Structure 1
Amino acid sequence: MGMLDNGQGIIPQVVFEVSWEVCNKVGGIHTVLASKCEAAMASFGDQYIFIGPDIWREEHDNPEFNEDTGLFLGWKEHARGLGLNFRTGTWNIPGSPQTIIIDFTPLIPRKDEFFSKAWEDYKLDSISGDWDYVEASLFGFAAGMLIKSYTEYYHIHEVVAQFHEWMSAAGLLFIEKEAPYIATVFTTHATTIGRSIAGNGLPLYETLTQYSGDEMAGRLNVRAKHSLEQIAAVVADQFTTVSNITAEECTILLGKTPDQITPNGFNSEIVPNASVLKNQRIESREKIRNVAEAVFGSNVPDDVLIIGTSGRYEFRNKGIDIFIRALAKLDKENPQGKAVLALILVPANNYGPRSRVVQRLAGENPEMSGSVHLTHNLHDAGFDPVLRLLEEVNLDNNEKRRVKVLFIPCYLNGTDGLIDLTYYQVLMGLDYTLFPSYYEPWGYTPQESLAFGVPTLTTDLSGFGRWMAPVTGDTKNAALNIAPRMNKSDDQLIAWISTNLNDFSNYSDKELLQAREKAIELSQKTLWKDFFTYYLLAYQTALDAVSLVDRPMPDRVDGSAEDGRMKLARSSDPIWKRVLVESEFPQDLKGLEDISKNLWWTWNYEAENLFQSIDPILWEQVEYNPIALIRQIPLGRLMELETDVSFNESYRRVYEKFKKYMGRTNPAPGPSIAYFSMEFGFHSSLKIYSGGLGILAGDYLKEASDRNVPLIGVGLLYRYGYFRQVLTITGEQIAEDIQEQFSDLPVQPVYDEEGQWVDTQIAMPGRMLHIRLWKAMIGKIPLYLMDTDYDANQPNDRSITYHLYGGDEENRLKQEMVLGT
Structure 2
Amino acid sequence: MRPDTLLFEIAWEVCNQIGGIFTYVKSRIPTMLDNYGEDYMLIGPYIPEKAKLDFRAIRDPEDSPLADAIQHVRNLGHEVHYGYWLLEEARPKVLLIKPTLHKHQSDEVKTRLWNRHQISSIDADPMVDQVIAFGEIIRIFLTELVSRIDINQDVLAHYHEWMSATSLIELVADKVRLATVFTTHGTMLGRYLAPNERQFYLNLPTYNWAEKAKEYGIEGKVMIERIAAKSAHVFVTSSSLIARECEVFLDRSPDSIIRSGISRKPGFGHEVFEKHLEKRSKIDAFVKALISPSYHVKIDKTLYFFTSGRYEYRNKGFDITLEAIARLNYELTRVKSDVTVVFFIISKQPFTHIRPEVLEAKQRYQDLQKICKRISAKLGPRIYTNVTGEKSLRLPDLNELVDDELKLTWRQAIALFKREGLPPVTTHQLRQEDEITNFLMQAGLNNNENDRVKVIYHPDFIDRATSLFSMDYLEFVRGCHLGVFPSSYEPWGYAPMETVMHGTPVITSDLSGFGQYIRSALDPEDSDEVKVLNRRYRSDEETIHQLTEILRSFVEAFDNQQYIPRSSLSKHLMDSLCWTELQRYYKEIYRLAMIRYQPVADLY
**One of 542, 552, 555 as aligned partner of 1:502:** 552
1:77 corresponds to 2:72: no
Once the two structures are TM-superposed, the CA of residue 120 in structure 1 deviates from its matched residue by 3.8
Partner Cα distance (1:104, 1:346) in 2: 25
Amino acid at match of 2:480: L
In the other structure, the counterpart of 2:463 is 413
Amino acid at match of 2:120: D
Once the two structures are TM-superposed, the CA of residue 447 in structure 1 deviates from its matched residue by 1.3
Once the two structures are TM-superposed, the CA of residue 203 in structure 1 deviates from its matched residue by 5.5
Equivalences for residues 325-364 of structure 1 within 5 A: 325-333=323-331, 335-336=334-335, 338-348=339-349, 349=351, 351-355=353-357, 357-358=361-362, 361=365, 362-363=367-368, 364=414
Partner Cα distance (1:117, 1:418) in 2: 48
Is the contact made by 2:18 and 2:310 (CA closer than 8 Å) also made in structure 1?
Answer: no
In the other structure, the counterpart of 2:391 is none
Which digits, 9 at most, give the CA deviation of each residue in 1:62-111, with x for residues without a partner?
33322222425332335634755433222222321122223454565333
In the other structure, the counterpart of 1:536 is 587
Is the contact made by 1:128 and 1:223 (CA closer than 8 Å) also made in structure 2?
Answer: no
In the other structure, the counterpart of 2:8 is 16
Equivalences for residues 715-794 of structure 1 within 5 A: none
Is the contact made by 2:243 and 2:253 (CA closer than 8 Å) also made in structure 1?
Answer: yes
Equivalent position SS for 1:18: strand
More displaced, 298-307 or 452-461? 298-307
Once the two structures are TM-superposed, the CA of residue 402 in structure 1 deviates from its matched residue by 3.6
Partner Cα distance (2:467, 2:101) in 1: 42
Is the contact made by 1:242 and 1:442 (CA closer than 8 Å) also made in structure 2?
Answer: yes
Partner Cα distance (2:467, 2:68) in 1: 47
Is the contact made by 1:277 and 1:428 (CA closer than 8 Å) also made in structure 2?
Answer: yes
Once the two structures are TM-superposed, the CA of residue 129 in structure 1 deviates from its matched residue by 2.6
Is the contact made by 1:455 and 1:516 (CA closer than 8 Å) also made in structure 2?
Answer: yes
**One of 61, 69, 88 as aligned partner of 2:82:** 88
Is the contact made by 1:138 and 1:170 (CA closer than 8 Å) also made in structure 2?
Answer: no
**One of 318, 334, 345 as aligned partner of 1:320:** 318
In the other structure, the counterpart of 2:113 is 118
In the other structure, the counterpart of 2:406 is none
1:464 corresponds to 2:464: no
Aligned length: 540
Amino acid at match of 2:477: L
Equivalent position SS for 1:302: helix
**One of 226, 232, 237 as aligned partner of 1:241:** 237
Amino acid at match of 2:82: T
Are the structure 2 counterparts of residues 149 and 74 from structure 1 closer, same or farther at C-alpha, using a change threshold of 3 Å?
Answer: same
Which digits, 9 at most, give the CA deviation of each residue in 1:563-611, with x for residues without a partner?
xxxxxxxxxxxxxxxxxxxxxxxxxxxxxxxxxxxxxxxxxxxxxxxxx
In the other structure, the counterpart of 2:401 is none
Once the two structures are TM-superposed, the CA of residue 489 in structure 1 deviates from its matched residue by 0.9
Partner Cα distance (2:594, 2:471) in 1: 46
Amino acid at match of 1:343: F
Amino acid at match of 2:255: D
Which digits, 9 at most, give the CA deviation of each residue in 1:639-695, with x for residues without a partner?
xxxxxxxxxxxxxxxxxxxxxxxxxxxxxxxxxxxxxxxxxxxxxxxxxxxxxxxxx
Are the structure 2 counterparts of residues 74 and 180 from structure 1 closer, same or farther at C-alpha, using a change threshold of 3 Å?
Answer: closer
Equivalent position SS for 2:109: helix
More displaced, 480-489 or 269-278? 269-278
Once the two structures are TM-superposed, the CA of residue 515 in structure 1 deviates from its matched residue by 4.1
Equivalences for residues 606-617 of structure 1 within 5 A: none
Partner Cα distance (2:600, 2:572) in 1: 45
Are the structure 2 counterparts of residues 411 and 54 from structure 1 closer, same or farther at C-alpha, using a change threshold of 3 Å?
Answer: closer
In the other structure, the counterpart of 2:599 is 548
In the other structure, the counterpart of 1:733 is none
**One of 72, 95, 104 as aligned partner of 1:100:** 95
Partner Cα distance (1:352, 1:158) in 2: 49
Partner Cα distance (2:125, 2:304) in 1: 45
**One of 50, 55, 76 as aligned partner of 1:65:** 55
**One of 135, 138, 142 as aligned partner of 1:143:** 138
Amino acid at match of 2:177: Y
Is the contact made by 1:452 and 1:520 (CA closer than 8 Å) also made in structure 2?
Answer: no
Larger Cα Rg: Structure 1 or Structure 2?
Answer: 1
Equivalent position SS for 2:120: coil
Are the structure 2 counterparts of residues 287 and 77 from structure 1 closer, same or farther at C-alpha, using a change threshold of 3 Å?
Answer: same
Equivalent position SS for 1:121: helix
Is the contact made by 1:357 and 1:375 (CA closer than 8 Å) also made in structure 2?
Answer: no
In the other structure, the counterpart of 1:127 is 122
In the other structure, the counterpart of 2:20 is 28
Partner Cα distance (1:380, 1:52) in 2: 28
Equivalent position SS for 2:306: strand
Which digits, 9 at most, give the CA deviation of each residue in 1:184-221, with x for residues without a partner?
11111221222223465766334322321111111111
Once the two structures are TM-superposed, the CA of residue 245 in structure 1 deviates from its matched residue by 1.2
Are the structure 2 counterparts of residues 331 and 229 from structure 1 closer, same or farther at C-alpha, using a change threshold of 3 Å?
Answer: same
Equivalent position SS for 2:124: coil
Unaligned runs of 5+ in 2: 369-413
Equivalent position SS for 1:438: coil
More displaced, 86-95 or 98-107? 98-107
Which digits, 9 at most, give the CA deviation of each residue in 1:102-136, with x for residues without a partner?
34545653334333333343333333433421321
Is the contact made by 2:159 and 2:181 (CA closer than 8 Å) also made in structure 1?
Answer: yes
In the other structure, the counterpart of 2:228 is 232
Equivalences for residues 187-198 of structure 1 within 5 A: 187-198=183-194
Partner Cα distance (1:73, 1:38) in 2: 28
1:444 corresponds to 2:494: yes
Once the two structures are TM-superposed, the CA of residue 40 in structure 1 deviates from its matched residue by 1.1
Are the structure 2 counterparts of residues 499 and 296 from structure 1 closer, same or farther at C-alpha, using a change threshold of 3 Å?
Answer: farther
Q: Please, what TM-score do these two structures have when normalized by structure 2?
A: 0.80
Are the structure 2 counterparts of residues 412 and 351 from structure 1 closer, same or farther at C-alpha, using a change threshold of 3 Å?
Answer: same
* Greater percentage in helix: 2
Equivalent position SS for 2:528: coil
Once the two structures are TM-superposed, the CA of residue 282 in structure 1 deviates from its matched residue by 4.4
Once the two structures are TM-superposed, the CA of residue 517 in structure 1 deviates from its matched residue by 2.6
1:152 corresponds to 2:147: yes
Partner Cα distance (2:43, 2:314) in 1: 33
Are the structure 2 counterparts of residues 134 and 515 from structure 1 closer, same or farther at C-alpha, using a change threshold of 3 Å?
Answer: same
1:164 corresponds to 2:166: no
Is the contact made by 1:451 and 1:519 (CA closer than 8 Å) also made in structure 2?
Answer: no
Partner Cα distance (1:12, 1:205) in 2: 44
Is the contact made by 2:204 and 2:248 (CA closer than 8 Å) also made in structure 1?
Answer: yes
Partner Cα distance (2:249, 2:280) in 1: 48
**One of 518, 521, 526 as aligned partner of 2:577:** 526
Equivalent position SS for 2:28: helix
Equivalences for residues 584-599 of structure 1 within 5 A: none
Are the structure 2 counterparts of residues 460 and 379 from structure 1 closer, same or farther at C-alpha, using a change threshold of 3 Å?
Answer: same
Partner Cα distance (1:20, 1:60) in 2: 12
In the other structure, the counterpart of 2:440 is 390
Equivalent position SS for 1:162: strand
Is the contact made by 1:347 and 1:410 (CA closer than 8 Å) also made in structure 2?
Answer: yes
In the other structure, the counterpart of 1:52 is 44
Partner Cα distance (2:201, 2:28) in 1: 29
Are the structure 2 counterparts of residues 344 and 390 from structure 1 closer, same or farther at C-alpha, using a change threshold of 3 Å?
Answer: same
Partner Cα distance (2:427, 2:570) in 1: 32
Once the two structures are TM-superposed, the CA of residue 293 in structure 1 deviates from its matched residue by 3.3
Partner Cα distance (1:455, 1:405) in 2: 19
Is the contact made by 1:261 and 1:534 (CA closer than 8 Å) also made in structure 2?
Answer: no
Are the structure 2 counterparts of residues 63 and 72 from structure 1 closer, same or farther at C-alpha, using a change threshold of 3 Å?
Answer: farther
Amino acid at match of 2:344: L
**One of 306, 317, 331 as aligned partner of 2:304:** 306
Once the two structures are TM-superposed, the CA of residue 453 in structure 1 deviates from its matched residue by 0.5
More displaced, 47-56 or 293-302? 293-302
